[in-house]
Amino acid sequence: MFSYITRRVLLIVPTVFFALSFLFFLFFTLPGDPVNLIAGGADRNPNPITIQQVTERYGFDDPLVVQFGNYWKRTITWDLGESFRTNRSVNDLLGDKAVNSVRLASWALILEVVVGIAVGIVSAVRRYSLADRFTTIVTAGASAVPVFVLGFILQYVFAVLPNKNDFPEWARIYTSRLGPDSWSLFLIPRGDQWRYLILPAVTLASVSTALAARMTRGSMLEVMRADFMRTARAKGLRERQVVARHGLRNAMLPVITLIGIDFGSTIGSAVLTETVFSWPGLGSAIADSVIERDLPITLGLTLAVVVAYSVINLLVDLSYAWFDPRIRLGQGEAN
Amino acid sequence: MRLKRRGIKLLALFLGLSLVAAACGSDDNEGSGTTTEGTEAPDGSAGGDFIDLGTIVGDPLEHIDPALNSTLDGYQIINSIYDGLTDIDATDPASPKIVPHVAESYEANDDASVWTFKIREGQTFAGGEEILPSTFQRSWERAADLAGDYSYLLTFIDGGAERLDGTADTLSGVKVDDEAMELIVTLDAPYSNFDAVSGFQLFMPTPEEAVAAGEDWENQPMFGNGAYKMETARNDEEIKIVKSDEWAGDYNGDTWDDRLDSITFRVTADPDTSFNSFEAGEGDNGSIPPARVADIEGTYGNTLGVSILGSYHFVLNDRAPEIGGEENLKLRQAVSMAIDREEINEAVYNGSRTTSTGITPPGIPGFKEGICEFCTYDAAGAKALFEEWQAEGNTQAAPLPIQFNADAGHEPVVAIIVDNLAAAGIEAAATPIDGETYFSQLADGVCVICRAGWFADYPTYDNFMFDLFHSTSLDGNNFGFVNDEFDALVDEAKQTTDKDAQAALFQEAEGILLNDATMAIPINWYRGDYVYDEDKVANFPQTNFGLILWEQVKFAA
């Protein structure tokens, strides 16, 4: 087990190297000359002198291979460089954004796990009941409504209308931004922070919660028909124990995979939610940097996302063994 | 100057969405919907902390250093922190005037090639450093070192080009006498509007700390000689400026002592989020999404009535065989006449813009209404002109491509133009191109009919005619419009010191551009786009440069 974990952790190194190298070279195939853009050529024709100075300052006149080598030399020493456009340190930027993304993604994950799995179980156990039909409709709707539409409607209903109708202060929720940025134990919102967190977290969790509920229901229904469930009931276990100990644990593998992937993508790709709610996270910063051809930001922030993905994948794989003791990680390789 | 680029493809989606919100918007907030244009602040409460949600809309600002910034959003903040040699007195929006500010007076020699600024005594930066003529020399050389987008303005000064390209150590055209408080600037070529340019952000004085910090200055708590300063460094969420007690006052010497204590500019992702946050009571102003104009008028205070000195237009490529050249003049004129600018304004912008009759907008000294002879909608006339063009043996081999940067709100404008042209018998096709590619292609000069826009940097006619259309301009003229007569008129106008004679020359040049050559098609002039709650904010003046006069903003009593 330990050697398995060590090998998987070491595998993150080539993953990060290939992902970022691929991005680095891909950047130079994008239309839109970065030098021209940095020199102010987004909608004007910049001064040739400015272009020349930008070229020299950022080393764009070096051969691509030299630029590539320099990039990795800096990255290995944890110097992610500075933004082409704002001159701000990417290390600092990463520190700010990653924390916000992880917090938002974690709360979306909590909602997804708690609500999604609970709804899925209820639907499966009470198949074709009113509750099942209701959740089927709601989850189908939640998967279909685009994130930015939901976000916009939530803003209007829970923030704009209460303000327009002079609701008391305790009933106010805010539409955008990080808010006071006050947290306990990294993750627990303190003071008014929850008023800023709740709408983006619900919005970000909406689609994935619906998918988790659907998948839990499907997976549970399949497991409920299995022989070992009948055996468990025959042993005289109560239905609740049958569902929780035997059903749920076996049905969780595909759900855990889905949730793991979701968590990774909500950290790095929550562009729409972050945009609608002006939440300063990694996803929108990466998207903006690509549009603005700000390579140091694109690569620096992507580095964090790739590492996060790799670690989450590892945790998901480890969790398989916990959910299903028949799985012995790394055994095939050892043999 | 450009507005902050909204490099996000969501905008078009949100524009659609806001129609939904408009439909369910409540009308229970009664308001007069008046526009604030004047500069006399009504009674209100003193001080207060203002939360601005309407300025930084889109991504966080790239730059807030006067030597680096090129956006109007950034200039809002820079203009509050720094004061320049001159300022713009926009009390009469129809006729803004250049007035001395940090300079107590200035004069030019007869041919406007040498400008002498007398710097006011006893002015300091917020850090206490005295402002001397040499402060400007040092600040301009710093601007050359940083080589921001606007650094080309330094080439107006003798030796500026050499300083920029590194072949000279100093700006040879700048001489200072700190004893006599004189700053003497010799220009590379005579230029009678240099007083307007000298007050622009690139030429604003910066303290010695800025020189030491270089390009990192904007990431520190910046201070200058303006009404406000920063106490904390900017971040991606907000920029906060606080009252500077060292401020010497505006160009009239008025220190607006009861001005706001602080202004926090918060970053919002797009106009709809900005407006939602404003309506949710999270800030004191917001940005107006185009689709919400009708909802806002009569409900909230707004600056929709302020004509902004900016032009939304299309440029035509003289080198493109399907539209350029003398042989296609009638086709170009027919295209311009066929466009129903009122329909565009009503359908796309809810009537919130001014349909234009030229490129240069009202408020620019020398402006003349109705220069463009082919900007009045006349479908029958356009059809007749097009048929004349065909009768001369010309045919359309393919629909005319109308190119624009996609997902930035231009789709409905171009759709109407294509319909208008079809009604006149002219085949055209909307050709959206992703933003970065579009601007690269524009710079490479490969467009046919291309969307363009421009905001005035300072109130001069040449900021439109020279910067956009002169053949030697560094900015923008990349669509092949080379007209010796036009160039000569603009060159002569720039050097002409008599304002009436200068205006006549510029107007004549614009007539060539729009009528004799028809190389640009004006569509509309911009209007203000701030909304605020009149019950809370008593005064919110926006000049026609788009700048908010922050020292005059007041909360209601």
pLDDT digits (tens, 9 = 90+) for B185-227: 999 999 999 999 999 999 999 999 999 999 889 999 999 999 9
Predicted local distance difference test score (pLDDT) of residue A50: 67
**Cα distance between the two ends of chain A:** 13
For residue A35, the chain B residue with the least C-alpha distance is B440
DSSP one-letter code for B290: G
Predicted local distance difference test score (pLDDT) of residue B537: 94
Residues of B in contact with A161 (CB under 8 A): 26
3-state secondary structure of A89: strand
Residue B91 reports pLDDT greater than 90: no
How far does Cα B453 stand from its chain's mean position? 9
Q: Residue A76 — φ and ψ, nearest 5°?
A: -60, -35
Residue B30 reports pLDDT greater than 60: no
Question: Per the CB < 8 Å rule, is B439 touching A32?
Answer: yes
Give the gap in angstroms from C-alpha A45 to the nearest C-alpha of chain B: 5
pLDDT band at residue B42 under the 50/70/90 scheme: low
Q: pLDDT tens for residues B454-500?
A: 888 888 999 999 988 888 765 446 677 889 999 999 999 999 989 89
Output the average pLDDT for chain A. 83
Residue A60 reports pLDDT greater than 90: no
Q: Residue B205 — φ and ψ, nearest 5°?
A: -75, 140
Give the gap in angstroms from C-alpha B361 to the nearest C-alpha of chain A: 20
> Any CB–CB contact under 8 A between B252 and chain A?
no
Residues of B in contact with A51 (CB under 8 A): none
Best residue in B436, B440, B479 to probe A by mutation, most A CBs within 10 Å? B436
**For residues B100 and A227, which has the higher predicted lDDT (pLDDT)?**
B100
Residue B514 reports pLDDT greater than 90: yes
User: Using CA atoms, how far apart are residues A46 and A39, in angstroms rounded to an integer?
Assistant: 6
Question: Per the CB < 8 Å rule, is A49 touching B10?
Answer: no
Predicted local distance difference test score (pLDDT) of residue B154: 92
What integer is the mean pLDDT of A282-305? 86
The residue type found at B533 is D
Predicted local distance difference test score (pLDDT) of residue A164: 86
Question: Per the CB < 8 Å rule, is B475 touching A44?
Answer: yes
Please check whether residue B301 is in contact with residue B531, taking contact to mean a CB–CB distance below 8 angstroms.
yes
Residues of A in contact with B63 (CB under 8 A): 85-86
> Any CB–CB contact under 8 A between B24 and chain A?
yes
The residue type found at B198 is S
pLDDT band at residue B35 under the 50/70/90 scheme: very low
Predicted local distance difference test score (pLDDT) of residue B37: 39
Output the average pLDDT for chain B. 87
Task: Look at A205-209, B35-39, B360-364 and tell me which has the smallest mean pLDDT.
Answer: B35-39
Predicted local distance difference test score (pLDDT) of residue B118: 97
Torsion from C-alpha of B483, B486, B492, B498, nearest 10 degrees: -170
Task: Look at B2-16, B194-208, B517-531 and tell me which has the smallest mean pLDDT.
Answer: B2-16
Please check whether residue A32 is in contact with residue B439, taking contact to mean a CB–CB distance below 8 angstroms.
yes
- To which H or E segment does residue B383 belong? helix B379-391
User: Using CA atoms, how far apart are residues B543 and B148, in angstroms rounded to an integer?
Assistant: 25
Q: Where are the beta strands (DSSP E) in chain A?
A: 183-184, 188-189
Residues of A in contact with B21 (CB under 8 A): 152, 156
Predicted local distance difference test score (pLDDT) of residue B9: 28
Residues of A in contact with B266 (CB under 8 A): 177, 278
ipTM of the prediction: 0.75
Please write down the long-range contacts of B174-178, taking CB distance under 8 Å and 24 or more positions apart. Answer: B174/B136, B174/B137, B174/B140, B176/B132, B176/B133, B176/B134, B176/B136, B176/B137, B177/B133, B178/B132, B178/B133, B178/B134
Percent of chain A topping pLDDT 70? 91
Length of chain A: 335
What integer is the mean pLDDT of B56-72? 87
pLDDT band at residue A42 under the 50/70/90 scheme: low
What integer is the mean pLDDT of A109-117? 90
**For residues A41 and A26, which has the higher predicted lDDT (pLDDT)?**
A26
Question: Per the CB < 8 Å rule, is B439 touching A43?
Answer: yes
Residue B370 reports pLDDT greater than 90: yes
Q: pLDDT tens for residues B347-358?
A: 988 888 899 999
Best residue in A175, A273, A293, A301 to probe B by mutation, most B CBs within 10 Å? A175
Predicted local distance difference test score (pLDDT) of residue B1: 59
Question: Per the CB < 8 Å rule, is A275 touching B269?
Answer: yes
pLDDT band at residue B87 under the 50/70/90 scheme: very high
- The Cα-based distances of B35 to B90, B110, B303, B351 in angstroms read 15, 42, 5, 15
Please write down the long-range contacts of B207-211, taking CB distance under 8 Å and 24 or more positions apart. Answer: B207/B125, B207/B126, B207/B127, B207/B129, B208/B129, B208/B138, B209/B127, B210/B65, B210/B139, B210/B142, B211/B138, B211/B139, B211/B142
Question: Per the CB < 8 Å rule, is A175 touching B277?
Answer: yes
Residue B3 reports pLDDT greater than 60: no
Q: pLDDT tens for residues A177-225?
A: 888 888 889 889 888 888 899 999 999 998 888 888 888 888 888 888 8
What integer is the mean pLDDT of B363-376? 93
User: Using CA atoms, how far apart are residues B143 and B211, in angstroms rounded to an integer?
Assistant: 9
Residue B337 reports pLDDT greater than 90: yes
Torsion from C-alpha of A7, A8, A9, A15, nearest 10 degrees: 110
Predicted local distance difference test score (pLDDT) of residue A11: 84
Backbone dihedral region for residue B482 (phi beyond 0: left; psi -120 to 50: alpha; all else: beta): beta
Predicted local distance difference test score (pLDDT) of residue B323: 93
pLDDT band at residue B421 under the 50/70/90 scheme: very high
Predicted local distance difference test score (pLDDT) of residue B269: 79
Residue A83 reports pLDDT greater than 90: no
Percent of chain B topping pLDDT 70? 90
User: Using CA atoms, how far apart are residues B186 and B171, in angstroms rounded to an integer?
Assistant: 10
Task: Look at A35-44, A193-202, A257-266, B375-384 and tell me which has the smallest mean pLDDT.
Answer: A35-44
What integer is the mean pLDDT of A303-329? 81
Among A38-42, A280-284, B292-296, B475-479, top mean pLDDT goes to A280-284
Residue B402 reports pLDDT greater than 50: yes
Predicted local distance difference test score (pLDDT) of residue A123: 86
Give the gap in angstroms from C-alpha A251 to the nearest C-alpha of chain B: 38
Percent of chain B topping pLDDT 90? 63
- To which H or E segment does residue B428 belong? strand B428-433
> Any CB–CB contact under 8 A between B435 and chain A?
yes
Q: pLDDT tens for residues B260-280?
A: 999 999 988 778 888 989 999
Predicted local distance difference test score (pLDDT) of residue B480: 74
B residues 360-399 closer than 8 Å to A (CB) = none
Question: Per the CB < 8 Å rule, is A176 touching B5?
Answer: no
0.95 surpassed by pTM: no
DSSP one-letter code for B131: P
Residues of B in contact with A155 (CB under 8 A): 273, 276, 280
Residues of B in contact with A36 (CB under 8 A): 440, 443
**For residues A330 and B415, which has the higher predicted lDDT (pLDDT)?**
B415
Q: pLDDT tens for residues B156-166?
A: 999 998 998 88
What integer is the mean pLDDT of A14-24? 87
What integer is the mean pLDDT of A96-111? 91
User: Using CA atoms, how far apart are residues A176 and B277, in angstroms rounded to an integer?
Assistant: 7
Q: How many CB atoms lie within 10 A of CB A8?
A: 17
Predicted local distance difference test score (pLDDT) of residue A75: 85
Q: pLDDT tens for residues A153-181?
A: 898 999 999 988 888 888 888 887 888 88
